[in-house]
């Protein structure tokens, strides 16, 4: 997948729900004061700040220098590093790893799982939530339909949206994890403002629209196509579907 150049203003402004919606997964992590916790894909830092406010020794890593810069600006006393999940390079330092809305961006789920497992001590917890099988299917189908109407070739997204079976097998094989619990559930999420759908697609699906010559008319058609299924109660909604997992390292 083409690397996304994250726009931290847009992320915090119009897509602030990304961090806010990770709250349930953070509750599932149940981090205790004094525990060392690694937040993989820490974005603009809100989960690290929430954990540290509870006395947890949390640090954040994110592959995007823009996001890390914004996290450091927002929380200058908290530790944030630029790092790709597959190249983490930690060895048993952490009691828990947390990751929200990140792992669907990572092509190499096997490598990511190995690196996360390596960062944990034996018995350490891994809690993650990200896009699961069927995530954003309506939006992607709408984009495909409009592309086809405009005579554009098929464009494939490169996101990793696994089923529970696929992902839990990877956790067991690549990370020696015991999977304690796993869920796959719909989470339709309202987008902000009348341009919510357009802003979302521009920010997150750039690969699927990069070759569209007239973007304005593409988005007008996309909104017409999607209005019946994704616009209600005065909002655009995105059809998120989440996979959420709680796993423990090395407990077989
Ligand atoms: C998600 O959070 O599910 C997501 C975000 C951006 C692109 C694709 C999926």
What are the backbone angles phi and psi of residue 98, rounded to the nearest 5°?
-125, 145
Pocket flag, ligand 1, residue 11 (CB < 6 Å): no
Residue 125 predicted with pLDDT over 80: yes
Pocket flag, ligand 1, residue 104 (CB < 6 Å): yes
103 in Cβ contact with 230 (< 8 Å): no
Q: How many helices (H) and strands (E) does the chain have?
A: 11, 8
Say how many Å lie between the CA of residue 130 and the centre of ligand 1. 8
| Tokens encoding 100 | 């929200």
2 — pLDDT class (breaks 50, 70, 90) = very low
220 in Cβ contact with 194 (< 8 Å): no
Q: How far apart (Å, rounded) are the C-alpha atoms in residues 224 and 237?
A: 14
94 in Cβ contact with 120 (< 8 Å): yes
pLDDT at 50: 96
Pocket flag, ligand 1, residue 177 (CB < 6 Å): no
| Tokens encoding 154 | 């098929």
Pocket flag, ligand 1, residue 135 (CB < 6 Å): yes
Q: How far apart (Å, rounded) are the C-alpha atoms in residues 51 and 48?
A: 5
How does DSSP classify residue 208? Answer: H
**Which CATH code fits 8-135+158-190+239-249?**
3.40.50.150
Residue whose structure tokens are 């992320």 = 11
What's the pTM value of the predicted model, to 2 decimals? Answer: 0.90
Nearest residue CA, atom 8 of ligand 1? 204
Nearest to 36 by CA among 90, 82, 86, 94: 94
Structure confidence by residue, pLDDT tens digits, 157-206: 999 999 999 999 999 999 999 999 999 999 999 999 999 999 999 999 99
Q: Identify which of 200, 240, 241, 242 to mutate to test ligand 1's pocket (most ligand atoms within 8 A of the CB).
A: 240
Pocket flag, ligand 1, residue 243 (CB < 6 Å): no
Pocket flag, ligand 1, residue 19 (CB < 6 Å): no
Structure confidence by residue, pLDDT tens digits, 201-238: 999 999 999 999 999 999 999 999 999 999 999 999 99
C-alpha distances in Å from residue 42, one per residue of 150, 161, 252: 38, 19, 30
Nearest to 245 by CA among 20, 18, 29: 29
């Amino acid at each position: 997948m083409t690397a996304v150049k994250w726009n931290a203003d847009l992320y915090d402004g119009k897509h602030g729900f990304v961090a806010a919606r990770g709250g349930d997964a953070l509750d599932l992590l149940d981090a205790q004061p004094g525990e060392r916790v690694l937040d993989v894909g820490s974005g603009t830092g809100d989960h690290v700040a929430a954990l540290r406010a509870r006395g947890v020794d949390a640090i954040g890593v994110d592959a995007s220098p823009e996001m890390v810069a914004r996290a450091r600006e927002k929380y200058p006393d908290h530790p944030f590093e630029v790092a790709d999940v597959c190249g983490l390079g930690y060895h048993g330092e952490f009691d828990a790893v947390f990751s929200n809305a990140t792992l669907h961006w990572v092509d190499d789920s096997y490598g990511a799982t190995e690196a996360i497992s390596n960062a944990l001590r034996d018995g350490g917890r891994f809690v993650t939530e990200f896009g699961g099988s069927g995530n954003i299917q309506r939006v992607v189908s709408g984009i495909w339909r409009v592309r086809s109407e405009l005579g554009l070739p098929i464009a494939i997204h490169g996101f990793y949206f696994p089923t529970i079976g696929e992902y839990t097998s990877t956790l067991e094989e690549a990370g020696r994890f015991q999977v304690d619990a796993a869920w796959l559930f719909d989470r339709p999420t309202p987008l902000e403002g009348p341009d919510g759908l357009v802003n979302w697609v521009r920010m997150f699906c750039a690969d699927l629209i990069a070759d569209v010559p007239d973007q304005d008319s593409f988005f007008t058609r996309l909104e017409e196509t999607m209005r019946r299924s994704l616009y209600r109660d005065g909002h655009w909604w995105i059809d998120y579907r989440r996979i959420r997992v709680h796993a423990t390292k090395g407990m077989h």
